[in-house]
């Protein structure tokens, strides 16, 4: 039977699952909780290496997935990213006390997300051509040669054309789309194809999943609870 445990040492929380453990430092903003097939990570000033479950992510860290690979990333605020195959992204964070503004820059590919709404904190996704501002929302975001798409299941968000500054609101059951060839930006009711794409974005991948809860002690002494998934 798999055992779990939590140990707090000098203001740093350690959580472990038999063969592995999670340790969070003040600069950490997220942890990789699931890796399937070939996933790579790279610090802002470093080289690519194979990603592993429990790898921590800090400002400027890169992630990329191969053709049949996927990863799940969980932020300390509980927000979840599901990185789909053939995707490349960079995690950026800006700390101010206990508040962390987060931006995930996606160069190519698609992600599913479940973003927790936190007062006075911002969470956004961006590509070279658009910015999606998220407000306690779940859905998906993708970018390819033809378009950027923001698909919302529940909640609301905003999609902006970087070139013009034009913005559209995207609500539950809607898709925001920026056509890269024409520059047209629109928000529309999701089609069955949109819904299939969004469902695919929010699939973790094969394997049996279990959950564990980690208590993370923040720099100001407060404690946050982080629930992570892992595979046996």
pLDDT in tens, 88-109: 999 998 877 667 788 999 999 9
Report the pLDDT value the prediction gives residue 203, as an integer from 0 to 100.
Answer: 81
3-state secondary structure of 201: helix
Given pLDDT bands bounded at 50, 70 and 90, which one contains residue 208? very low
Global model pTM greater than 0.85 = no
Please check whether residue 134 is in contact with residue 104, taking contact to mean a CB–CB distance below 8 angstroms.
no
Dump pLDDT digits (tens) for 122-158: 889 999 999 999 988 899 999 999 999 999 999 999 9
Of the candidates 159, 114, 119, 104, the one whose C-alpha atom is nearest the C-alpha of residue 137 is 114
Cα(94)–Cα(144) distance, integer angstroms: 27
The structural domains of the chain, with segments of one domain joined by +, span: 26-214
Decide which of 3.40.50.300, 3.30.360.10, 2.60.40.10, 2.60.120.1440 is the CATH code for 26-214: 2.60.120.1440
Please check whether residue 137 is in contact with residue 115, taking contact to mean a CB–CB distance below 8 angstroms.
yes
Please check whether residue 199 is in contact with residue 192, taking contact to mean a CB–CB distance below 8 angstroms.
no
HSE value, Cβ hemisphere, 13 Å, CA-based, for 135 = 9
Report the pLDDT value the prediction gives residue 57, as an integer from 0 to 100.
Answer: 92
Over residues 164-187, the mean pLDDT reads 96
- Average pLDDT of the residues of the chain: 82
Cα(183)–Cα(180) distance, integer angstroms: 5
Report the pLDDT value the prediction gives residue 122, as an integer from 0 to 100.
Answer: 86
Given pLDDT bands bounded at 50, 70 and 90, which one contains residue 28? confident
> What DSSP state is assigned to residue 180?
T
User: Looking at the predicted structure, is the pLDDT value of residue 10 above 50?
Assistant: no
């Amino acid at each position: 039977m798999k055992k779990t445990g939590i140990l707090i040492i000098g203001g740093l929380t350690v959580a472990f699952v038999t063969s592995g453990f999670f340790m969070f430092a003040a600069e950490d903003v997220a942890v990789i909780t699931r890796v399937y097939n070939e996933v790579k990570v790279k610090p802002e000033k470093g080289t690519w290496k194979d990603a592993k479950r429990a790898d921590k992510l800090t400002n400027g860290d890169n992630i990329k997935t191969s053709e049949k690979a996927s990863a799940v990333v969980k932020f300390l605020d509980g927000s979840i990213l599901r990185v789909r195959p053939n995707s490349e992204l960079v995690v950026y964070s800006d700390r101010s006390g206990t508040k962390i503004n987060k931006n995930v820059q996606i160069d190519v590919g698609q992600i599913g997300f479940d973003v927790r709404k936190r007062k006075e904190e911002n969470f956004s996704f961006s590509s070279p051509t658009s910015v999606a501002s998220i407000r306690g929302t779940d859905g998906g975001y993708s970018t390819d040669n033809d378009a950027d798409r923001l698909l919302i299941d529940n909640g609301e968000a905003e999609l902006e054309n970087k070139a013009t500054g034009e913005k559209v609101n995207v609500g539950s059951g809607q898709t925001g789309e920026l056509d890269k060839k024409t520059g047209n930006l629109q928000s529309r009711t999701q089609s069955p194809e949109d819904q299939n794409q969004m469902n695919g974005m929010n699939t973790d991948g094969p394997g049996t999943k279990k959950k564990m809860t980690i208590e993370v002690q923040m720099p100001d002494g407060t404690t946050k609870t982080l629930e992570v998934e892992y595979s046996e």
